[in-house]
Amino acid sequence: MQNISKCKCVDSDLLSPSEHYGHFVFTSLEQSEGSTIGNMLRRVLLSNLYGLKITGVRLPDVTHNEFNLLDGVREDFLEVMLNLKEIIFKDDNKFGQSYHGLLKIQGPAVVTAGAIKFSKGIKVLNPNNYLLTISDDSLVEIHLKLEHGKAYVLAKDQKLEGSTYFLPIDSNFAPVVKVNSYVKTLPQHVENTDVELHLEIFTNGSLLPHQALIQAKNMIGYMLSTINKIEFPCLGELVSDEQVIEKTIDRDKKNESNKNFKKDQGTKLKSNTVREEKVPQENFLIPPKNTEKIIEQDTTPEAMLLKRVNDMDDGSLECLNLSTRVIKALKNANINFTWELMDYDSSGPPYLKDIKGLGPKSIAEIEKNLRVFYEPPF
């Protein structure tokens, strides 16, 4: 019996206030499962987890841009914006909210991230992160906007709705800084070689490594849950995979039944029409005269049924002698054989009238030719 895969944390370390490390091991995995799970978790950890970052900056001067100079500040505004991007936040409030912060300080001073005032529940994890230096007694005032997001968003892609005069900046929302994954083979299992998946997660402190791993696992489950309902435009309805399997089985049974019917009819007819006659051996090399004419004029019921059985073996729509327009409409609806057309009925689903390009006259023509085709000629 195969062991159930388990995940355990073998190492956890606080490298700095803004860098956490976690080492996780997944055990009892088959050879191909380790790399599959590792790649999937790594992509989700780096690209799909949400974080809180500064998305917009505003100065009291409404005509400002990233190339402005701040009075009394050693750095230009572009360098200040780059320093603001490095601030790491932890949010204890409801997810999805946007917040505002204010940096208002009188110089001279060396300003760090800890000098910014935020809403209640917002914590700065790197308060010593350098922002700017005020060289005189100038007053510096900067308004900030914080939002939740994922991955890396460029300034041109930021959507600052309801925020007038805010200048958008690049934001790296990802709480996971780096992920290392590798697979280790366990050769002691001879019959069924198991592998271990090792996953090393580095975060910026806004999420602990085990919290990031749990969120990634839940997010993968949510993304895969959409497979519960699969849309089949070719069937014209939204069905579950169980219904598709049942319908496929029913159609296969019907096709097999038609084939068995055709085989039985052909065998019976051929056995009744073949006669044992003693023909001289020298006559085998002499073809009978007017053979083609005899075959064309053979309109006996047995011959017509034999031709009908041969047509059933072909099964194409052309055997029904339908008009070209009707055949084209059926093929556009992915109906290419006579037994597929038998699934449709005028009184129950699926309906012939639902096929695009078929009117009442075309439906009557199809039903008439189907009756003629599948009924014996005598």
- Residue 47's pLDDT is 92
Domain match, 102 and 157 both: yes
Please identify, among 172, 189, 213, the residue that sits at the C-terminal boundary of a domain. 172
Please identify, among 172, 190, 221, the residue that sits at the C-terminal boundary of a domain. 172
Task: Judge whether 125 lies within some domain.
Answer: yes
Residue 44 sits in a domain whose CATH number is 3.30.1360.10
- Residue 202's pLDDT is 96
- What residue numbers bound the domain in which 96 lies? 50-172
Domain match, 158 and 94 both: yes
Q: What is the dihedral of CA 25, 26, 31, 37, to 10 degrees?
A: -100
Domain match, 45 and 181 both: yes
Task: Judge whether 283 lies within some domain.
Answer: no
Task: Judge whether 309 lies within some domain.
Answer: yes
Domain match, 352 and 224 both: no
Domain match, 351 and 335 both: yes
Task: Judge whether 363 lies within some domain.
Answer: yes
Domain match, 214 and 241 both: no
Please identify, among 123, 143, 172, the residue that sits at the C-terminal boundary of a domain. 172
Q: What is the pTM for the complete model shown?
A: 0.58
Task: Judge whether 249 lies within some domain.
Answer: yes
Total domains present in the chain: 3
Domain match, 36 and 181 both: yes
Domain match, 44 and 62 both: no
Domain match, 55 and 107 both: yes
| pLDDT-flagged residues of the chain (< 50) | 1, 190, 269-270, 273-296, 377-378
Task: Judge whether 119 lies within some domain.
Answer: yes
Domain match, 10 and 63 both: no
Task: Judge whether 281 lies within some domain.
Answer: no
- Residue 322's pLDDT is 82
- Residue 300's pLDDT is 60
Domain match, 71 and 115 both: yes
Domain match, 308 and 367 both: yes
Task: Judge whether 88 lies within some domain.
Answer: yes
> What is d(CA 46, CA 11) in angstroms, rounded to the nearest whole number?
20
Residue 146 sits in a domain whose CATH number is 2.170.120.12
